A and B are shown apart, each in its own frame.
Chain A
Amino acid sequence: MAVVFEKTELLTDLPMHYCPGCTHGIIHRIVAEALDELGIGKTAVGVAPVGCAVFAYDYFNCDMMEAAHGRAPAVATGIKRVCPDKCVFTYQGDGDLASIGTAEIVHAATRGEKITAIFVNNAIYGMTGGQMAPTTLPGQVTTTSPNGRDVEHCGYPVPMCEMLATLSGSAYIQRVSVHDVKHVKAAKKAIKNAFAAQMENKGFTMIEVLSTCPTNWGLSPLEAVQWLKDNMIPAYPLGVFKGAEA
């Protein structure tokens, strides 16, 4: 019988712990496929964050290290300096990358560290139960912004792609989304571009993926996808911010 579909080798068979309708799972899948298709998956080293993706080391079927909250880019730096020929990537949420770990991501980027950060932006702290994230939209209700994020009081969402693209060390920066099939395909292509740029030693690479958190947004999976499309994309425009699309 002809094989019409095969699960990528780079994901283990463990059932994922993500909530129904959460797009973390899709992002894992396209990261794994991208690595596999480039032929660099088996020898890649990944760094898992603190956040909902904390168990990423169980799912990505390659060498993995679990980092402290926000420190994944520093851990990846240590690995990459020891293993310069290997593909080294981090997988981080918005609290992890854009709040507690801002220094680590900014300096990895400015050093032109030859790693790839997969930055999952769901505008909320998923794992700890829906608190305000640095990426939470103005007016968005969370458990620590019960009346909606008041920018007068706690400031504005952080546009990481726009920020990091200004740094000389960054080589490829793109924001993508996974709210429909077309965008999932584009996201996978972007991730492949980033990994390829890393392997060509071009510099720091990051793909920001807009993602859903139906559980903490208080929406059904379908509503969540719609909310992402209607609210996040206008606030976080998709596109390539640095480097040329392959």
Chain B
Amino acid sequence: MKKLMKGNEAIAEAAVKAGCRYFFGYPITPQNEIPEYMSRRLPEVGGCFLQAESELAAINMVYGAGGAGARVMTSSSSPGISLKQEGISYLAGAEVPCVIVNIMRGGPGLGGIQPAQSDYYQATRGGGHGDYRTCVLAPASVQEAVDLTQLAFDIADRYRNPVMVLGDGMIGQMMEPVDMDKSYRPAVDLADKIWAANGHIPTPGRPRSIINSLFIDPKVLERHCERLDAKYKKIAESECRWQEEMLENAELVVVAYGTTSRVVRSAIRKCRQQGLRVGLLRPITLFPFPTEAIRNTLGTAKCYLAVEMSAGQMVDDVRLAVNGERPVHFYGRMGGMVPTVAEIMDEIRKYATPYQKTPAEIALDSAIDEKFQSVTDAVGHILQRTRKKMKATGSGK
């Protein structure tokens, strides 16, 4: 049965359903409903919620709990995520799985508390120091926030890597109907974490565990980094997700994710009704970015438009995908301002003109019209003749 839920609470419940039993966090708007929900809910299922003294401590508690083999999550919003970056780098370096939720708000600095998408670079480029990536999932609805939170735990465990659910204040705060009864089973065997440092008695098959990201010998560190890099490439190959809408014959492809993609979708539907050939490509994973999906639209696309609640960050990935073969335009709002449908329609109209028929198409059209007319004339003739005959013979009675 569908239930009306706030995005933040739905994310928290989805995590519990996914077997997350540990949560460490520090309050910050607009994600407070996640820790609040967890503080009530986790004790009910034998788990542990702990309010940390800072985001720094929270992410390191996550590192400890994840290192001990638990499914563990933390959540925060932009300024808090900045503080977590050191820990995320260690989690990636030591290959400890966990889920990090960022309900983005406007920045830089303390910024504001309204929705924004200005942490895209930080999320998709690693964020902290060193050569690493986190997998980044960007929900555009409350239901998708639920599904992606659960997927995040699976991806984290499958690759032993931190996974980020990147929402914005709108996704976190809005209420939508969600199906929480969908059955979920972890895609990996959670009892199988033989690498975990949980105080197990060592055996020949399972020696003592060392969770570590220090490799003092550069040759060894390079090998470690190469192995990590190969893992990120595998994630890129296997975990890329996106959604296409009205892309058939789209001359203008709009790329947008999260809350922005919903506004863009409404704008595109209206523009299509007005004859504009425009479509939407919505990245669901931001790392890996759906580069191939974008390249597949080059056949029809004359240009691209990235719409974001930022000064233009994801647009760089669109440009990399398009690789200079088409113009890539950008429209953004910042500081917690959400673009409106009308604004985006205006933007679309700048780059997509109503469809103009080619001379060949015009010729084909009139040929069809002529043919149709002659068939109509012929059929009319026959009907007239039949009518006259029926009248003359009285067979209509």
Contacts and interface: CB of A to CB of B under 8 A. Distances in A.
Main DSSP-derived SS at the A contact region: mixed
A107 B51 CA distance: 11
B198 A82 contact: yes
Contacts, number: 130
B201 A42 contact: yes
Q: Give the interface centre of A45, A62, A64 by most chain B CB atoms within 10 Å.
A: A45
Given A42-B202, A62-B199, A71-B60, 8 more contacts: A43-B199, A43-B200, A63-B198, A74-B63, A77-B64, A82-B70, A87-B199, A103-B57
Interface residues of A, number: 37
A76 B53 CA distance: 14
A95 to B, nearest CB: 16
Which 6 A-B pairs rank lowest in CB-CB distance, beginning with the nearest? A78-B64, A74-B60, A86-B199, A78-B65, A63-B197, A107-B53
A71 B86 CA distance: 10
A68 B67 contact: no
Contacts of B22: 78, 81-82
Contact of B56 (A44, A61, A65, A74): A74
Nearest to A72: B60
A76 B198 CA distance: 11
A104 interface: yes
A57 interface: yes
Interface string B196-216: 011111100000111111100
Interface of A: 42-45, 47-48, 54-55, 57-58, 61-68, 71, 74-83, 86-88, 103-104, 106-107, 111
B contact residues, range = 35 or more
B69 interface: yes
Given A71-B60, A78-B60, A103-B56, A65 B67 contact: yes
Q: Give the interface centre of B61, B65, B208 by most chain A CB atoms within 10 Å.
A: B61
B85 to A, nearest CB: 11
Given A43-B200, A78-B24, A71 B87 contact: yes
Interface in B31-59: 48, 50, 52-54, 56-58
